[in-house]
Structure 1
Amino acid sequence: MHLDDHFAQQVHEEFTADRMAALGLPLGVNLVAIVRHARVAVKRTETRDRRLAWLFAGWGAALLLAMYGLGSGSSVVAAAGGCGILVVLGTAWWLVHQAESEARAAALAVRDTGSKPGDLAPPAPQEVEDQLRELKRANVMPYTAAAERTNPFVGSGRKIKEAVWQPIDISAPAHAPGGGKLTITPFDAVDLHTYVAREMEKVAGLEGLRAQNRLYVLGTHVQRVGPELLPEPAGRPRARIPTQLVQAGLVHPGAGMRTYLSLERVGEGGRVIVSMYLRARLQHPSLSWEVAAFAIPPVSSRYNRVDYLPLDGFERWWSLVRFATRQTWPALRGALRRNHRRGSERSQKARDLEKWRKEIGKRHAVYDYGAVDSLRERVASWDALGHSDRTDSQDFLHRLQQGVLIATERFLKDHNVDTSSFDKAQQVINTQTYNFSGDITGPSNFGNNGQVTAYGQGPLPSGAPGNAGGQP
């Protein structure tokens, strides 16, 4: 935020400006802290540019004065103009130096602080922070219509796996201990989702796993959900809705409205984020799981500038001097253009929003309220994915898959369902693998223009990597 003016401006506009589209999930990101520091960075940059714009006007006046003096033969006037130019350039140099010094100090303070970097910046408006905190606990996610054909889980990263697991027969009652058959306890998909969500952290062995049901809604269908999701047609969708609506999307899924059990695990230091989305397809007499797995790699190295800043002494002083000397003239010359561009972009966005709101109010136009991506996904880079990141992520996904299977089996047994069909299906499901860049000891499966190859349902091909003993 503090070391990249353009990025800070983007984040500030995205999370604090007026908008109608939903925001992507804050996976592994403290949005409140980020937005607070973005506001500080933007305020510092805009203050610097306003002052530089006035200085540029002064520089122009001093230049004209010097040229007039030279043309008229008045050395006094020419000297006054020349002194004015030097004063303007010196003042501009100091403004650039001071702004960069403050930015670096703020960035280093954030890096070196403890667990609450948000406390180092003043709060954003209460309404903004309330929305960001609500988004952290989102149980509904509108997704853009452009993602309907490929991936409704916008902002979750790259798809690693997508499958519908082997159907399980749930019509046969389990055997009673003394002989005979037990009576099956009736259940529905909501019961199964709730049980798996409650048990996953324990059975998967993944501390800090976040599990919850979430309704995914096509952006153009948001208004159909009702005022609980969209209080005002010209406003922004809410991030939390009544639980009954979320459950309704599971029991009675419709076009563009489906509820998934979202399992999200953030790796050490937030380097890798793994998500698994499940939906129980319960149609008697069988049950199957729809499964999709995603991963977000580490943050791109271009955002690690703070780790290479000189900390103190001559090196820090000389670095700031070189920066200010190199950037003063471009910053001074472009100040008016940057100020105009920021104002023009804000005005254009405001006009576009006003136009859409009129279309919605007068003509009942259909607006796409869906989110496009997430901040964490945008700053990620697969080039930064290391060996330990791959193995950790594969471990997360295997644990999630095994946890779902264990929880499902326990649920069926608790409801007196015979699990022999489940046992057979589990043998097939367990042959599925999640490869990020190929097996560690085998040939690479990472190709096809960066797409990850994952083996599908059923036994692996003969000689395929990871097919040791038919287990992942």
Structure 2
Amino acid sequence: MGGRALPALPQYRKDGVTRRLCASVHLDEELARWTDRELTGDRLTSPGLTLGINFVALARHARAAVLRRDALDRQLTWLAAALAGAVLVGLWGLTGGHGTVAAVGIYGPLAVLGASWWLIHRAESQARDAARAVFVGTERAEKLAPPVEPEAEAWLHELKRANALPYADAAALTTPFVGSGTKIKEVVWQPVDVSRPAEAPGGGTLPLLPFDAVDLHTYVARQMESIAGLEGLRARNRLYVLGSHAHLLPELVPDRTARPRAQVPKQLVQAGLHTPGAGMRTHLCLERVGEGGRIVVCMYLRAILHRPHLTWEVAAYVIPPLGARFDRVDRLPVAPFDRWWSLVAYAGSHLFPDLRRAPGRRRARRRRARQEARGLARRRREITDQHLLVDHGADDSVRARLSDWAEAGYAERIDAQDYLFRLQQGGLVATERFLKDHNVDTSSFDRAQQVISTQTYNISGDITGPSNIGTGGQITVNGGPQGQGGPAAAPGQQGGPTP
């Protein structure tokens, strides 16, 4: 069919969420430090899945923002000491009758305050320039900030293609799909009989072609994008492992005193589907990132094949847009006078607080770093010497922690429902085609499909409570996001980390 010639409307950038987060870490010190620790800090657990975020770019910009603030605090600490010294010298000159020395007590503090004001002004100007450059620029986000440690970047690159994920033990009672957002649906589809051969065109029956759950998963993963009509759909089989059991797989945790790997041999992924292990199951993970990355819809499928019956385990999740705090980059003044006046006002309002607190902030950060290092060293000694079993599982994801249902508008809710319907129908169509290709009589499947197709998704309002399963399989979410097994909140929210 020929395409219709129409003018092109402006589109969301595909990496819009990554760029907004990279810009925000330059404008929010607390967010920058939390992100830097989360993505590149020494740890024993996984940070969760990337879910539409370029972790390498985000880690680079967070580190650049942290280093800029550390340099400013270091300079202000020296200036605070110089200010105290100038005041003391001035007082000594006044009490001793040394007029020239006393002048130090007048002009010295003024010089120190002027230098401090300029340093604060420059640091904020650099932060805003970096934020604007990555937010509106055309160059790739990771190219606009210096690299972090090579081993950290290699791990983040590996995480982008993760085919294994340990999940925190605390999440085992609710869901293994940590960090996937709010649960919309959790169901096992009606079983279908796959033992009866299909009728041959000329009479009789066709020979059943052998297959297993691995074959079915592989087929659905390859065909789902075209069947569902969702361009850019990410389909991947992933082995989910209970965090305290992760050490049982040396390929996942080769060193029990280090963080787990994100990729394991595909044979282990297939084994988790064919014969699930202790706290180890493989799911087909379907992830669709909405326009500009504003929403992320995840559907997790697992074929349960116990002959003569086949059924699917289905779980659906939605991550809403980023919270309103990330809109600050949209409101940065760009007109020359407005920008100049905003920076002058910022430096003036932050002069005395930043100058006064810089020494204490540096001491607090060093103290926290020492405490964290000692805690990790102690835990590693316990693992090595006492064979302590630790939970290597992720308890959330960066993308889910920073989201907010209050920012989900009509378009996002409708898109989420559309994606979920398409994924559900695509799974049914792909399964039917697979069964027909293997000469299975699909009459049982047809009857089950009529029941499954009546299940709906209703995503509306501010989600602040648990999902409610109504009559006819209808899912209504009318409260706020359920916890995904981890108590940590995003920085700046109640219960979140502090710098």
TM superposition score normalised by structure 1:
0.93
Per the alignment, residue 466 of structure 2 pairs with 451
Task: State the Cα RMSD in Å.
Answer: 1.7
Judge which range, 110-119 or 146-155, deviates more. Answer: 110-119
Please name the residue that 2:389 is paired with.
366
1:347 and 1:28, CA in 2 relative to 1: closer, same or farther beyond 3 A? Answer: same
- Poorly superposed stretches of 4+, deviation over 6 Å: none
Per-residue deviation at 1:66?
3.2
Whole-angstrom CA distance in 2 between matches of 1:70 and 1:401 = 83
Match status 1:224 vs 2:239: no
Q: Deviations over 1:387-413 (max 9, x none)?
A: 000000100000000000000000111
Secondary structure at 2:177's aligned position in 1? Answer: coil
Cα deviation digits, residues 430-465 of structure 1 (max 9, x gap): 111122216xxxxxxx66x43344546x4669xx99
Distance 2:116 2:467 in 1: 50
CA distance in 1, matches of 2:473, 2:442: 21
Match of 2:458 in 1: 435
* Inter-partner Cα distance in structure 1 for 2:299 and 2:267: 23
Higher deviation after alignment, 86-95 or 262-271: 86-95
Q: CA deviation at 1:379?
A: 1.1
- SS of 2:26's equivalent? coil
Task: Spell out, residue by residue over 1:163-191, the C-alpha distance to the aligned partner (whole angstroms, 9 max, x if none).
Answer: 11111111111111111111211111101
- How far the C-alpha of 1:310 sits from its partner, in A, is 0.7
Q: Does 1:121 align with 2:145?
A: yes
Deviation at 1:296, TM superposition (A): 0.5
- TM-fit CA distance, 1:75: 4.6
Q: Where in structure 2 are the equivalents of 1:9-408 lying within 5 Å?
A: 9-72=33-96, 74-114=98-138, 116-225=140-249, 227-408=250-431
Aligned pair partner of 2:432 in 406, 409, 430: 409
Deviations 1:43-94 (A, max 9, x none): 1110000011111111111222333344455554433112111111111101
CA distance in 1 between counterparts of 2:96 and 2:404 reads 61
Letter of the structure 2 residue corresponding to residue 57 of structure 1: A
- Measure, in 2, the Cα distance between the counterparts of 1:295 and 1:263: 12
Q: Which residue identity does 1:213 align to in structure 2?
A: N
Distance (whole Å) between structure 2 residues aligned to residue 278 and residue 358 of structure 1: 39
* Contact 2:321 2:404 (C-alpha < 8 Å) held by counterparts: yes
Deviation at 1:312, TM superposition (A): 3.0
For 2:351 and 2:401, how far apart are their aligned partners in 1? Answer: 30
Instruction: Tell me which residue corresponds to 1:442.
Output: none
Distance 1:73 1:285 in 2: 103
Deviation at 1:152, TM superposition (A): 1.0
Are 2:458 and 2:474, in contact at CA under 8 Å, matched by a contact in 1?
A: no
SS in 2 for 1:240: coil
2:41 and 2:148 map into 1 onto residues whose CA distance is 12
Q: Is the 8 A contact 1:434 1:454 kept in 2?
A: no
Is the partner of 1:310 in helix, strand or coil? coil
Taking the aligned partners of 1:147 and 1:72, their CA distance within structure 2 comes to 70
SS in 2 for 1:362: helix
Which consecutive residues of structure 2, in runs of 5 or more, have no partner in the other structure?
Answer: 1-24, 478-499
| Count of matched residue pairs | 453
Give aligned-pair identity as a percent.
57
Question: How many angstroms apart in 2 are the aligned matches of 1:394 and 1:130?
Answer: 35
Residues of 1 paired with 2:38 and 2:61: CA distance? 14
Distance of 1:298 and 1:164 partners within structure 2: 28
Partner of 1:2: 26
Q: Which runs of 5 or more residues in structure 1 are unaligned?
A: 439-445, 466-472
- Render the CA deviation track for 1:242-283: whole Å, top value 9, x for unaligned: 000011111111331110000000001000000000111111
TM-score normalised by length of structure 2: 0.88
Aligned residue for 1:304, secondary structure, equals helix
The alignment status of 1:423 with 2:438, answered yes or no, reads no
2:435 and 2:407 mapped to 1: Cα distance?
42
Q: Is the 8 A contact 2:180 2:298 kept in 1?
A: yes
CA contact (8 A) 2:457 2:474 kept: no
State the secondary structure of the residue aligned to 2:435.
helix
| Mean Cα deviation higher: 26-35 or 122-131 | 122-131
Amino acid corresponding to residue 359 of structure 2 in structure 1: L
Q: Distance in 2 between matches of 1:460 and 1:212?
A: 27
CA–CA distance in structure 1, aligned partners of residues 157 and 469 of structure 2 = 35
